[in-house]
Structure 1
Amino acid sequence: MAEQQDDRQADLRRGVRVEVASLVYNILEVVVSVTAGLLTGSAALISWGLDSTVEATSAGTLIWRLRAEERGADPRTVLKRKKVALSVVAAAFWIVVAAILYEAVSAFVSREAPGFSWWGIAILLVSLVVNPFLAWGKHRYGKRLGSPALKYDAKDTLICEYQTVVVLIGLALTQAFGWWWADPVAALLIVPYVAWEGLEATKDALSVDPDDAERPA
């Protein structure tokens, strides 16, 4: 029993480290991609950056939730923070859906092709390498800790990886052929998957009841 508790404490610490790394990197993504998107008028880059904002928020919430358990919080407090963490992750998915739709519709209305930014391309290429490692770490410790919020956060990071590929393709088509519509279409291709994960995360958040901690097993 003591050995299992020690293993869980070790997994909690590692889970926190993964989320801290995610928080720091996503702040970098936000600063670079949103700035580049605003300067070039790229709906896809801005949407990608907004998703990074949501990921950073999720990471911060999960750090708060995991540290409570790591520091020996009572079961009710752990369940409360679990519910909050799941709710934040669920809300994050829906915010991304709304932001992508807004940016895409705005791009269709303006009908203007985005400009080119080496900074935007650079952060996208770096993310192609970094995000799979972050997603792997989140899923690994989410599974070991039995944490749906961590596993959903891993899915959000994979969404970001998929979005990165789509945004790069959209920007390449825009620059190569002048297809102004490729940029907003690239953004819209992400919406169905994000909405589905948002629905699943919402269901899990609603299913958590902190009062369960006080009921007999």
Structure 2
Amino acid sequence: MKSASRVRRLSFWSIVVGVAIFALKLVAWWLTGSVALFSDAMESIVNVVASGVAWYAIGVAHTPADDNHPFGHHKAEYLSAVLEGVLIVVAALLILREAVLAFAQPSPLAVPAVGLAINAFAAVGNGVWAAILMRAGRAARSPALMADARHLWTDVVTSAGVIAGLLMALATGWLWLDPLMAVIVAVNILWHGWHMVKASVQGLMDVAVEPEDLAEIERLVHANSDGALEFHDLKTREAGRARFIEFHLVVPSDMTVERAHRICDRIEDALEAAFSGVRVTIHVEPAHKAKNGNGGG
């Protein structure tokens, strides 16, 4: 519960930080009239909206299981990440529209040094906050928090590219570099949004755990199944911070229920100690159900 409270608190502060960063970037755009800085500010609007959605989704995801949702509400965070990906795509399309207009009618940049300095300061703030969110998201296995962090990192890269492009435009006098940077920003945002949606949909589709985690699960089951004959049909899936593991455990036909239960408890304890938020389901079977080494044990 302590971890859940910290995750939601961070997601709330993400909204506050997002609003502050957006305000800074808006001032930078207003001072310069740069369409590239406008595109950077537009992405920050997405950050604010996405952080609000993530804050709500994390609250839902940490709601205890109930009669209608006996396995919990963990997937709510994936819905948040999908929505954030969609918002990114919308922002990219708006940026492309502004870039096309700027190509048609390029305009000189006003007070560029001040605007670039403000934008650079905003980018540094975004980078620091993204690092904090990513560390907390990984520790708590929160898809919404990690999606927010990845989006902020994209924003940092975007800001760095925009600033570099505008410096080149000022140095060469090629005003078309400004809308060109906006186009590059938009394409980068689209690419990032696509990957975010793809990863979140995988979570909604009950994707299996990573291969290295699966190998560790198999090792732990094998190491703690003394007395059993084998295990097989191991299946895993992830739902936000929760992991679900199920398999069949074959025991001697004359083994008592109590002894078989002790073996199951030993395996469950080992898995729960190794993986946070794990839910283990073991189906005990008699000896004639053995698959001759198709599992472990």
Letter in 1 for 2:55: I
The whole-number CA distance in structure 2 between the counterparts of 1:65 and 1:163 is 26
1:14 aligned partner: 6
- Is 1:54 aligned to residue 49 of structure 2? no
Aligned-pair Cα RMSD in Å: 2.8
1:78 aligned partner: 73
**Residue aligned with 1:189, SS:** helix
Residues 40-59 of structure 1 deviation map (CA, whole Å, 9 limit, x = unaligned): 32111111111000011111
The whole-number CA distance in structure 2 between the counterparts of 1:73 and 1:62 is 19
Letter in 1 for 2:183: L
Structure with the larger helix share: 1
What is the CA-CA distance between 1:73 and the residue it aligns to? 5.7
- Is 1:23 aligned to residue 21 of structure 2? no
The whole-number CA distance in structure 2 between the counterparts of 1:71 and 1:206 is 21
Contact in 2 for aligned 1:90/1:201 (Cα 8 Å): yes
Once superposed, which parts of structure 1, at least 4 consecutive aligned residues long, lie more than 6 Å away?
none
Contact in 1 for aligned 2:28/2:115 (Cα 8 Å): yes
2:110 aligned partner: 115
What is the CA-CA distance between 1:193 and the residue it aligns to? 3.1
What is the CA-CA distance between 1:132 and the residue it aligns to? 1.9
What is the CA-CA distance between 1:172 and the residue it aligns to? 2.0
What is the CA-CA distance between 1:90 and the residue it aligns to? 1.1
What is the CA-CA distance between 1:114 and the residue it aligns to? 2.7
Deviates more, 1:128-137 or 1:110-119: 110-119
The whole-number CA distance in structure 1 between the counterparts of 2:8 and 2:114 is 29
What is the CA-CA distance between 1:88 and the residue it aligns to? 1.6
List runs of 5+ in structure 1 lacking aligned partners: 1-8
Deviates more, 1:146-155 or 1:44-53: 146-155
Which one has a bigger Cα radius of gyration?
A: 2
1:178 aligned partner: 173
Change (3 A) 1:123 1:200: same
- Is 1:136 aligned to residue 131 of structure 2? yes
What is the CA-CA distance between 1:71 and the residue it aligns to? 4.9
Contact in 2 for aligned 1:83/1:209 (Cα 8 Å): no
Residues 10-50 of structure 1 deviation map (CA, whole Å, 9 limit, x = unaligned): 33233233323321122123233235424532111111111
The whole-number CA distance in structure 2 between the counterparts of 1:196 and 1:112 is 28
The whole-number CA distance in structure 2 between the counterparts of 1:36 and 1:129 is 14
Change (3 A) 1:70 1:83: closer
1:165 aligned partner: 160
Letter in 1 for 2:179: P
Structure with the larger strand share: 2
Contact in 1 for aligned 2:127/2:156 (Cα 8 Å): yes
What is the CA-CA distance between 1:107 and the residue it aligns to? 1.1
Contact in 2 for aligned 1:85/1:149 (Cα 8 Å): yes
Count of paired positions: 207
Normalising by structure 2, we get a TM-score of 0.61
Q: Pick from 57, 81, 102: which aligns with 2:97?
A: 102
Q: Pick from 186, 190, 213: which aligns with 1:191?
A: 186
List runs of 5+ in structure 2 lacking aligned partners: 207-236, 247-280, 282-297
The whole-number CA distance in structure 1 between the counterparts of 2:157 and 2:7 is 23
Normalising by structure 1, we get a TM-score of 0.80
Residues 170-197 of structure 1 deviation map (CA, whole Å, 9 limit, x = unaligned): 2222333322112112222223432222
User: Comparing both chains, which one has the higher relative contact order based on Cα–Cα distances under 8 Å and sequence gaps of 6 or more?
Assistant: 1
Contact in 2 for aligned 1:20/1:63 (Cα 8 Å): yes
